[in-house]
Amino acid sequence: MSVLAGAMVACNSATDNKKDAADAQNPFFTEFTTLHGTYPFESIKLEHYMPAFEEGMKQQMEEVNAIINNEEAPTFENTIVALDDSGELLNLVASVFYNLTSAETNPQLDSLAQVLAPQLSAHSNAINLNEDLFARIKVVYEQKDNLGLNQEQMMLLEDTYNGFAENGANLSPEDKQRYNELSTKLSGLTLDFGQNVLKATNGWSKLITDEALLAGMPEDVKGMLRSNALKKEQEGWLLDLKPTCYVPAMKYLDNRELRQEIWTAHNTIAGDGEFSNKNNAIEIANTRMQIANLLGHKTHADYVLKNRMAENKENVYNLINQLSEAYMPAAQKEYQELQQFAQQLGFDAQIQPWDWSYYSEKLKNERFSISDEVLRPYFKLENVKNGVFGLATKLYGIKFTKNDKIQVYHPEVDAYEVTDENGDFLAVLYTDFHPREGKRAGAWMSEFKGQWKEGEVDSRPHIIIVMNFTRPTEDKPALLTYDELTTFLHEFGHALHGMLTKCTYKSLSGTNVYRDFVELPSQVMENWASEKAFLDEFAVHYETGEKISEELIQKIKDAENFNAGYACLRQLSFASLDMAWHTIETPFEGDPVKFEKEAMKPTDVVPAQPNTALTTSFNHIFAGGYAAGYYGYKWAEVLDADAFSLFQENGIFDQATADSFRRNILEKGGTEHPMVLYKNFRGQEPQIDALLRRNGVK
């Protein structure tokens, strides 16, 4: 050996030692010793992610190559199950990383996400477009009727085969290359879109120094706005576009010019300027169409709806048209009544979008003597949380115990051990309730870890629900609006779906179901919000301890259908816009604002405004998983109304009904077609009639 060669060996050895030392400090490279194997958030640093992602991708490719190079004939176990089990490290690091980029991000995480997007897309394509891997999957698939598979195994096999076929596995080498390019491009575009929305939202604020301009705003909201200003070392009240400011501003601000300014800012988020999403939206829609064309579909909607309960775009448009026809007369009547009411108050102009919530709140208060400010004192967050947890105990026997030994990613986050009716460990639930600079708007449920079985071991899930509820102030606890109560119930319904699941395979467990079925467990929970027997459990005045009155509960029920027509048409307008973008058959080259106005025109109730657009901030369809799927909210509303009608018939806490919903829906994940699961619970296909009755339209 030459001296030079010896020096090289020594250098490489030193490098390896440094790498080993770095790996030893990286929590992703050692088994978590935390309670229930939860994430050791206190040990995870920014520099740990990239090495873990790289190693995770490397390990999964080695696992995939082991499947391909297996000399034994392809079987369900050595090919389909082995593939489902692959990527453990990659899933581990990706779960925490992408949950934090939504709930607790920063510029460094955002930059890393940009770097990772094309790499992860290329990695995914390297698996999904692998001819040798697909050949083994195809061999098993073609024998499926002779393998003696149970229902869950059959679903995993079909999902695996279809997932590859629908992601380009049957394409020619040239088309695979094109698919790879397009999907990598799409990954970057959707990431850019979401980051632009967050940056544009955070980039707008307005300092008010004259308190008179805030006339009408509740004192606790003004307290929050003053806190906003103090955090920025400013004197006054700092308005922003987060829901905790925007929603009450639209409802309560007497100053119409200020309402219009905030509404316009909110409805031009990422419209122009540094964070404009106009081109991103066009490119995303065009790229999705091109991918669909490559895979043999006319439109992205055709491609997506193949694996939905709705099955095709004709059924989606049929739902939109049916509901629009049923609700439009009610919506138009509501608009006329609101216009007349506003005129009685001295308003002499036409009701515009920034007037709707303001006068609606006043009319609702006059008709029902009920408002958010009347109800808030009864919905102290801590009490609501106990009430929602208690509802799960009544229905499903599960219990929640806060455990401070479970590490969390932010001091405001709480972690709970969830146990079943026998006292056995069921899940970990994280709750994150208040808005922060690094948290995107809205509310959502996600998971840090899914559920699956390995032999006799049932590996239980770690679930998270994230909200943006009004913060406590110096002199008041966090008090929720009625809408925030229903939001809590909604996301908790998703959490139940994730926590109660009992499946064998991780890709089928929990909320891994058809997109237009996933909202059933969440939306059905909202029905309890106005039920006296539920509210009696927790709704007491935070100062006096007085229980919410029967009269007030009745007013809540009476007010539930207030503006139901408008609310339905608003949702249908979003669904129509989504479908318009995802049913294009040629590349879009026009003005996205004009395109939007035309798409939403049939469902317009309030006059449309020029130069404003939802498109540029529509995260659900351009950065989330709802492309050609936003209709699913109304689809699920039909399901949930029909499902809850059975609880109403048998009793809202009826154990037999709850047990059936648990066994047939919540525990099953995606192990059977959702229509089969629904009929197993309900005994029939869903009917639209229950929704129309609930909304007073029929």
Tokens matching residue 197: 């929305």
Helix, strand, or coil here: 239? strand
Tokens matching residue 64: 């995939």
Residues composing the chain: 698
If you average pLDDT over residues 356-373, what whole number do you get?
A: 92
Instruction: Please report which confidence band the pLDDT of residue 20 belongs to, taking 50, 70 and 90 as the band edges.
Output: low
Residue 37 DSSP symbol:
G
Residue 6 pLDDT greater than 70, yes or no = no
Burial 275-301 (b: 16+ CB within 10 A, else e): bebbebbbbbbbbbbbbbbbbebebbb
Note the pLDDT tens digit of each residue in 34-78.
999 999 999 999 999 999 999 999 999 999 999 999 999 999 999
**Beta partners for residue 240, in sequence order:** 205
Average pLDDT over the chain reads 94
If you average pLDDT over residues 137-164, what whole number do you get?
A: 96
Instruction: Please report which confidence band the pLDDT of residue 373 belongs to, taking 50, 70 and 90 as the band edges.
Output: confident
- Write down the pLDDT at residue 21: 53
Residue 273 pLDDT greater than 70, yes or no = yes
- Write down the pLDDT at residue 696: 86
Q: Can you spell out the DSSP letters for 599-635?
A: HHGGG--SPP-TT--SGGG-HHHHTSS-TTTTTHHHH
> Which residue among 417, 484, 491, 531 is the active-site one?
491
Expressed in angstroms, the distance from the first to the final Cα of the chain is 91
Residues 6+ apart with CB under 8 A from 219: none
**Beta partners for residue 417, in sequence order:** 401, 428
Tokens matching residue 29: 């490279």
Q: Is 88 a catalytic residue?
A: no
Q: Which domains does the chain have, with CATH numbers?
A: 37-128+130-170 (1.20.1050.40), 204-266 (no CATH), 270-351+561-698 (1.10.1370.10), 376-560 (1.10.1370.40)
Q: Which residue has the tokens 């905030």?
A: 262
- Write down the pLDDT at residue 441: 85
Helix, strand, or coil here: 492? helix
Tokens matching residue 405: 């030994």
Cα separation, 170 vs 141, whole angstroms: 14
Instruction: Please report which confidence band the pLDDT of residue 558 belongs to, taking 50, 70 and 90 as the band edges.
Output: confident
Q: Are 482 and 364 within 8 A, CB to CB?
A: no
Cα separation, 546 vs 596, whole angstroms: 49
- Write down the pLDDT at residue 45: 96
Percent of the chain at pLDDT above 90?
88
Helix, strand, or coil here: 380? strand
- Note the Cα 38 to chain centre separation in Å: 22
Q: Are 458 and 199 within 8 A, CB to CB?
A: no
- Write down the pLDDT at residue 19: 52
What stretches of 169-310 adopt beta strand conformation (E)?
A: 205-208, 237-240
Percent of the chain at pLDDT above 70?
97
Residue 239 pLDDT greater than 80, yes or no = yes
Strand 414-419 to strand 399-402: parallel, antiparallel, or no bridges (unpaired)? antiparallel
Tokens matching residue 311: 């099955």
Instruction: Please report which confidence band the pLDDT of residue 132 belongs to, taking 50, 70 and 90 as the band edges.
Output: very high
Amino acid symbol at 96: V
Residue 432 DSSP symbol:
E
Cα separation, 630 vs 620, whole angstroms: 8
Residue 235 DSSP symbol:
S
Instruction: Please report which confidence band the pLDDT of residue 22 belongs to, taking 50, 70 and 90 as the band edges.
Output: low
Note the pLDDT tens digit of each residue in 560-579.
899 999 999 999 999 999 99
Residue 629 pLDDT greater than 80, yes or no = yes
Q: Are 501 and 451 within 8 A, CB to CB?
A: yes
Cα separation, 348 vs 354, whole angstroms: 15
Cα separation, 33 vs 35, whole angstroms: 7
Q: Cβ of 472: how many Cβ atoms within 10 Å? A: 18
According to the per-residue pLDDT averaged within each range, which of 175-189, 391-405, 626-640, 683-697 is highest?
391-405
Residue 12 pLDDT greater than 80, yes or no = no
If you average pLDDT over residues 14-39, what whole number do you get?
A: 78
If you average pLDDT over residues 386-406, what whole number do you get?
A: 98
Angle (CA) 148 154 159, round 5°: 155
If you average pLDDT over residues 257-276, what whole number do you get?
A: 97
- Write down the pLDDT at residue 166: 87
Q: Are 197 and 617 within 8 A, CB to CB?
A: yes
Q: Are 489 and 525 within 8 A, CB to CB?
A: yes
Residue 4 pLDDT greater than 80, yes or no = no
